[in-house]
Amino acid sequence: MLLDIIAVLPRSGFQLDLEFENGERRRFDMRPLLAMKPWNRIASPAVFERVRVDYGTVVWPGDIDVAPETLYDDSVPLV
């Protein structure tokens, strides 16, 4: 099941707080991806914080995104 992201909040330590269309709120750690292309281009806090939701996933300037299924599968629930 593919769930769209409806809200994102960048947090310190390159974490993303995500809200999915089913109401779930989860936290995704971007740090493992930041050593790889193309995500190494968002490895500064100033660029990382420019994240926004578009087309049901998170995106950054320069056509950088993460698949919503990855964001869901590799995130942990917020309590």
CATH of residue 71's domain is 3.30.2020.10
Question: Are the C-beta atoms of residues 73 and 7 closer than 8 Å to each other?
Answer: no
61: amino acid identity, one letter: P
Backbone angles phi, psi at 35, to 5 degrees: -85, -10
Per-residue pLDDT in tens (0 to 9) along the chain, 79 residues: 689 999 999 999 999 999 999 999 999 999 999 999 999 999 999 999 999 999 999 999 999 999 999 999 999 999 8
Domain boundaries, position 12: 5-77
Distance, CA of 68 to CA of 55 (rounded, Å)? 10
Overall domain count for the chain? 1
In sequence order, which residues have a C-beta less than 8 Å from that of residue 10 and are 6 or more positions away? 16, 17, 48, 49, 51
In sequence order, which residues have a C-beta less than 8 Å from that of residue 38 and are 6 or more positions away? 62, 63, 64
Percent of the chain with pLDDT over 90: 96
> In this predicted structure, what is the pLDDT of residue 1?
66
